[in-house]
Structure 1
Amino acid sequence: MNLQTLFQDFNPSKFVVHTCLLTFTILFALKLDENINWSYWTIFSPIWIWKALVISGATVGSYVWWRYPHFRLEGEAYIHYKSMLISLALHLILLMFELLVCDKLESSRHLWILVFIPLIFISIVSIAICIWAVKHDRSFELELFCAVNILQFIFLALRLDGFIGWSWEVVFVPLWIVMCLSLVGVLYTIIFAAILLRTPEVSAQQKRSSFHSALGYTFLVIPILIFQVLLANKLDEDIRISYTAVVSPLFISFVTLILMSFSAKGANKWWFGIRKDFCSFILGACPLLQEYGNIAYHTERRPNGVELEQQSEKQNTHIKKADLMKPVLPIISIEMPD
């Protein structure tokens, strides 16, 4: 285990987001099953923590940006800073949606279609943001999720308000389409990984990377599909299980996303004004960790003194045998006449 190798590709933003979503999912399922009696404002506390970190990180990053103008000349500083501002704007609109959801669950004084308006607006804007992100080689997971699910958000709002009486299996049709495409992608990664494993010209590192990618996407997509099937049957009252059991496959997906955040790379360097990789920042802020960051631990068993002597004897024996097998050439003296 090498501490520096473990954290050099670590993406702290994705780690925080997926951890908060996992905690929120657990609390929300327990609330629906009436195992806890907390208010929805408390149930949404992981979401509030997530948004508080986003706002504080963007505030500190903006302060560093305007306080130290020479930092703007570092590489792709402008692109990173614009990406941070775009992400902040999306999170603020998403925060509005979450506040309306929480208020609706507590008081029921709004229509769901009004609650979903900020989310639908995000979905429309996310299309342009995805194009900008592809052009500047930036990650856009949240934006892509919102852009491809705009029709799903509309169906959910209309179904919750009772304007349409479709079954939940029909309401989830846009999501079924997205999941089918995701399954095709998972099948492609599995086939690609299998081909690389049987190709001798490919390096071991590439084989390992493709295998881990196929394994990660499998444990990400399949549990989500199982959760969607259970949720549709639960809402249509075709099965009688608790909401905790319904969302349990999501725990596997969130744990997979948390593990994948350690090799996600691509973190924005302007959150909290860090301006460097998270691993380099942590090692610089905590010099005591530098000693542990330069230590690698191996699980291989080292030979003891007796084994070393046996190995040296075997080597000497092989050397002697090799000497005995060498051909002996006679030395012939040739005298030249005077």
Structure 2
Amino acid sequence: MIFSLNELVHWLGLTVFEIWINLVSLTIFTILLALKLDENYFLGYSGWWIVFSPLFIADGLNTYFCAIIFIRMHMEGMIKVGILRALWSLISLLLIFVFEYLLCKKLSGQSNLEYSEVLSPVFVLQLVAVRACQLH
């Protein structure tokens, strides 16, 4: 079953622009990951940080976009809805950023964390998302 765009926007709590930013960053990330894994393309540089940079940039752009939406909703008088949307977006963006950061540190050898510790923000995000689905 393929979900429609309206269903994805409603269930994920993201706008079409945010979904587009994430898809573009994931595409660039996938290309850089293939280059990194094939013949060590980034030899001599901190290759994992370069590979993960599109995801970090997308997180920053989405955070900026969420701040703009919050300000617009506040100016239009939709304060409660704006606060709830901003909280949901910022919590999910923070958890995704922490996961990407910990994974990048683990893959670069800068951290001795176990993979279960690296994946813990994803587990928390799943719990929060399941709870949000139960409320709707």
Short-chain TM bin: 0.7 to 0.9
Corresponding residue of 2:132: 129
Alignment of 1:54-69 (within 5 A): 54-66=62-74, 68=75
Query: Percent of aligned pairs with the same residue?
Result: 28
Corresponding residue of 2:20: 15
Distance 2:18 2:73 in 1: 19
* Count of residue correspondences: 118
Corresponding residue to 1:115 among 118, 122, 131? 118
Corresponding residue of 2:54: 46
**Residue type matched to 2:31 in 1?**
I
Distance 2:72 2:89 in 1: 17
Alignment of 1:89-104 (within 5 A): 89-104=91-106
Corresponding residue of 2:88: 86
Distance 2:81 2:71 in 1: 17
Root mean square deviation, CA, Å: 2.2
Contact map agreement 2:96 2:121 (CA 8 A) in 1: yes
2:47 paired with 1:36: no
The structure with the largest helix share of the pair is: 2
Contact map agreement 1:23 1:46 (CA 8 A) in 2: yes
> Once the two structures are superposed, what CA deviation does each residue of 1:234-274 show, in whole Å capped at 9, x if it has no partner?
xxxxxxxxxxxxxxxxxxxxxxxxxxxxxxxxxxxxxxxxx
Distance 1:61 1:30 in 2: 36
Corresponding residue to 1:72 among 73, 77, 98? 77
TM-score, normalising length: structure 2? 0.74
Distance 1:92 1:42, change over 3 A: same
Corresponding residue of 2:6: none
Q: How far apart are residue 85 of structure 1 and its match? A: 2.5
**Residue type matched to 1:90 in 2?**
S
Where structure 2 has 5 or more consecutive residues not aligned to the other structure, the ranges are 1-14
> Once the two structures are superposed, what CA deviation does each residue of 1:27-80 show, in whole Å capped at 9, x if it has no partner?
1122112351152111111101110012112223334445x3xx125xxx7446
> Once the two structures are superposed, what CA deviation does each residue of 1:102-148 show, in whole Å capped at 9, x if it has no partner?
0001115221111111111111121111223xx2xxxxxxxxxxxxx
**Residue type matched to 2:22 in 1?**
V
Corresponding residue to 2:30 among 25, 32, 36? 25
Distance 1:81 1:118 in 2: 22
Q: Which runs of 4+ in 1 moved over 4 A?
A: none
Alignment of 1:223-238 (within 5 A): none
Q: Secondary structure at the match of 1:56?
A: helix
Distance 2:128 2:17 in 1: 25
**Residue type matched to 1:59 in 2?**
A
> Once the two structures are superposed, what CA deviation does each residue of 1:181-200 show, in whole Å capped at 9, x if it has no partner?
xxxxxxxxxxxxxxxxxxxx
Distance 1:101 1:36, change over 3 A: same
Computing the radius of gyration from Cα coordinates, the structure with the larger value is 1
Contact map agreement 1:27 1:43 (CA 8 A) in 2: yes
Q: How far apart are residue 81 of structure 1 and its match? A: 4.9
